[in-house]
Every structure is written in structure tokens, then in C-alpha cells.
Amino acid sequence: MISTNHNATNNTHTEGTAPKGPVTEVPELCKDASAQEVEDALKLAGCCLIRNFVSKDIIDQINSECRPTLEQDGAWEGSFFPKETRRAYGLVGLSPTWVNNVLMHPVYQKVCTRFLTIRHWNWSGNRKLWATSRPIINATSCFSIRPGSKAQELHRDDTVHHNRIEAVDVYPEDLSPSAPKRETSLALFLAGTKATKENGATECIPGSHLWSSERMPNADGVRYAAMEPGDAFLMLGSTYHAGGQNTTKDSERLIHATFMCRGILRSEENQFLTIPIETMKERSPAVQKITGYSVSEPFCGWVGLSDPRRLLDPTVPAYSDHQGALEDIPDE
Ligand SMILES: O=C(O)CCC(=O)C(=O)O
Ligand SMILES: [Fe+2]
């Protein structure tokens, strides 16, 4: 059963009866929703809520596993995040409870498999050889939005993968592994605290996953992913969204964010596990950078949302915002 969170009582849809015209609300599902129902909601709106995705006990445990690291974070120095926000990263290491109950949740993993698995064939001599690439983690972060925080700019998360897409009227039906794919990533935001329009609930534009890359987002159509602790908000990498504004005096909005991406979005040889970090410190900055200790603009490859070369040389300046050209830059 799918309903919508904005004026939910007037907008309840039963399974199989798609609304006419573009979707303007965030579909809501209950905790027992199947992977197929979640897939349908994401195809329709680009985002959806799953109520009571994990229990109160589990969310309390995840919060307590992440809190000490979150409190060590300082104010962001650029403009991508407001200075009143705090973050923690590397949740696979920080929170076994999140690993078992969120990252490995069978519905989330099945949905990621559908949207992100790709299969292709190529000639190997005279044989047609098929290969399947399965999703991997793209990023994991806790985002704490504290009183006084402004809203982020509306953005698509797939910008890190330079994804350019055309407008479509309806989302492609066929998600089989060898079908052409629209997404490079898929997020799940788990509410660690209550999230409201007032304290910074994620803003999103339902239906914006169908837009072309040329179309500029604006406040029209923005909705808020209002959640209770333990609810989840799922979103395709092509859906416009932003961390919201916190206009309260004393209410923190905390989410635990999981992002999966296509499995091919990495180097063939795993440089980080092949070459010891101590050996990398002896190499020149140029070699360090092409080995992967660098940020691919706008911000792919970060460690702690900063330049990974700081692990090799602490004097390297911190990377905060992407400061690229705002207009066309000539080809180099
Ligand atoms: O904090 C949020 O609600 C969203 C954060 C986000 O979109 C991002 O960091 O890319
Ligand atoms: Fe984002």
C-alpha cells in the first residue's frame, strides 16, 4: 500500500493504481513493504518514505555508536554544508548495528541491486563473454543539522559520477541487469531523531528524477521528508534534494545516510589495498594523486569529506567545497 506524506489522507493510492499526471508528493510505505513496492515508488517519484524501517531500540543503538565521532567533528569551512552542521563518516567501522540492520537490510539491498546492477557482454576471441557488476557502497555519513543551519542548495547526488541524463515522461520500466540504467547511486537516509520541516528534514522534489540534466531546480515542488526516529527516506541519485533549514532553537535533526553506487565506479586494480600507506608516503605528490589519493571533482574519493592525500601529508590543505568554474571551461 502506497500513500503520500503531504496531505496523506487525501492522496492514498492503493497498489497498482498509479496517479494520473506527474507525482508531486513523497510516497509512503509501511515497514513490511516489499522490494517491488519500493521499486515502484522510486520509479514513480524518485523518492519514498518507509515508516518504522528499524525499531526504537535499534535506532538508539546506532545513535550511540555514532555519537562520539559526530561530536568530534568541527564546523564545515566551505558553503556546501552550513557551519552549524556536524558529520561522521565510515559507518561500516563505526556502527555494527547500522551494518546489520540498515546497510544489509534485504529490501534496501534488493532495490539497489535492481537500480544499480549492470551486465554487459564483449567478445573474448570468438566467445561472447557476459559480465555482471554489482553495487558497492558509495559513501556513508551521519548528518546532524543544528539550530540556525541554513538549507543546502538543491542538488543531485549523482553529480559525483558526472551523470548526464535526458528527460523522460515515465521512468524506464525494465531494470533487468542488461537494460540501460539511469542511476549511478541510490541513498537511504535513516532518521536518528525526529525530522521536521522546522528542524531540517531533507527537502526533495518528487518527480525530478525524470528531468534532464539541463533543467534547473527551484523551490517549486519542494517537499519535506518528515520522519520519526527509525523511519527511512530512500532516494535515487537523480532526484533533487537538500538538507533542510533548521529554524528551531533547540532541536537537532540527525540522519544516518547510506549511499550505494554502481560497482564499476572504481579502478580495476585496488591501489589502496595493494600498496601500503607507508610506501605511498615515499612517492611524489604527482604519483600519489594518480594512484587515487586525490579528489575527482566535484568530490569523489574523499576521506572524511576532505582530500585523501592528507593521510599521506598532513600539510595538504583540507578540501571542503568544490570551487570549480561556474561557467563553461575550455577543454584542456
Ligand atoms: O542532510 C540531508 O538531509 C541531506 C544531505 C545531502 O544531501 C548531502 O550531503 O548530499
Ligand atoms: Fe545530497
* Segment 46-63 mean pLDDT: 98
Question: Residues near 87 by Cβ (< 8 Å), separated by ≥ 6?
Answer: 70, 73, 76, 81, 141, 142, 143, 144, 305
* Residue span of the structural domain in which 149 resides: 3-261
Q: Is the CB of residue 157 below 6 angstroms from any atom belonging to ligand 1?
A: yes
Q: What pLDDT, on the 0 to 100 scale, is given for residue 74?
A: 86
Q: What is the mean pLDDT of residues 32-37?
A: 98
257 and 272 inside one domain = no
Same domain, 97 and 162: yes
Are both 19 and 122 inside the same structural domain? Answer: yes
Q: Give the dihedral sign, CA 155/158/163/167.
A: negative
Q: Does pLDDT of 4 surpass 50?
A: no
Of 41, 42, 53, the closest CA to residue 3 belongs to 41
User: What is the distance in A from the centroid of ligand 2 to the CA of 235?
Assistant: 10
Q: What is the pLDDT of residues 170-217, one digit of tens each?
A: 999 999 999 999 999 999 999 999 999 999 999 999 999 999 999 999
**Mean pLDDT, residues 82-107:** 96
Nearest CA residue ID for atom 4, ligand 1: 243
- Overall number of domains in the chain: 2
Ligand 1, closest atom to CA 200? 3
The pLDDT of residue 83 is: 85
User: What is the helix, strand, coil percentage profile of the chain, to 5?
Assistant: 25, 25, 55
Last residue of a domain, one of 261, 295, 324: 261
What pLDDT is attached to residue 245? 95
Report which ligand 1 atom has the smallest distance to the Cα of 241.
7
Average pLDDT of the chain is 92
Atom of ligand 1 nearest to the CA of 203: 3
Say which CATH number the domain at 237 has.
2.60.120.620
| pLDDT tens digit sequence for 238-292 | 999 999 999 999 999 999 999 999 999 999 999 999 999 999 999 999 999 999 9
112: Cα separation from own chain's centroid: 12
Residue 37 in contact with residue 27, Cβ under 8 Å? no
CB of 241 within 6 A of ligand 1: the answer is yes
Q: Is the CB of 246 under 6 A from ligand 1?
A: no
Mean pLDDT for 217-240 is 98
Let me know whether 238 and 278 are in one domain.
Answer: no
Ligand 1 neighbour 203 (Cβ under 6 A): no
Q: How far is the CA of 202 from the centre of ligand 1 (A)?
A: 7
Half-sphere exposure of 96 (CA within 13 A, CB side): 0
DSSP SS3 for 161? helix
Q: Whose CA is nearest to atom 9 of ligand 1?
A: 243
Phi, psi of 41 (to 5 degrees): -65, -40
Radius of gyration of the chain (CA): 20
User: Is pLDDT above 90 for 330?
Assistant: no
pLDDT at 11: 36
254 plus 228 within the same structural domain? yes
Q: How far is the CA of 138 from the centre of ligand 1 (A)?
A: 14
Residues 224 and 330 in one domain: no
pLDDT above 80 for 117? yes
Residue 84: per-residue pLDDT: 86
Kindly state whether residues 282 and 248 are assigned to the same domain: no
Indicate whether 125 and 203 sit together in one domain.
yes
pLDDT band at 319 (very low <50, low <70, confident <90, very high): confident
Determine the average pLDDT of the residues in 218-222. 96
- How much is the average pLDDT of 112-128? 97
pLDDT of residue 5: 43
Say yes or no to pLDDT of 33 above 70: yes
Nearest CA to ligand 1 atom 1: 243
From the CB of 86, is ligand 1 less than 6 Å away? no
First to last CA, the chain: 52
Cα 289 to middle of ligand 1, angstroms? 27
Nearest C-alpha to atom 3 of ligand 1 is from which residue?
243
Q: Both 150 and 214 in a single domain?
A: yes
**Integer CA distances (angstroms), 15 to 37, 76, 207, in order:** 8, 43, 19
Give residue 129 CA to ligand 2 midpoint distance, Å: 36
Sequence-ordered list of residues with C-beta below 8 angstroms from that of 314, at least 6 positions apart, any chain: none
Ligand 1: which residue has its CA nearest to atom 2?
A: 243
Whether residue 90 sits in one domain with residue 222: yes
pTM, entire model: 0.92
CA-closest residue to ligand 1 atom 5: 243
Query: What DSSP letter does each residue of 61-116 carry, written as one string?
Result: HHHHHHHHHHHH----SSSSS-TT-EEEE-HHHH-HHHIIIIIT-HHHHHHHHHHH
287, three cell numbers: 604519483
Same domain flag for 173 and 319: no
Closest protein CA for atom 10 of ligand 1: 157
Asked whether 202 lines ligand 1 (CB < 6 A), one says yes
CA 41 to centroid of ligand 1, rounded, Å: 21
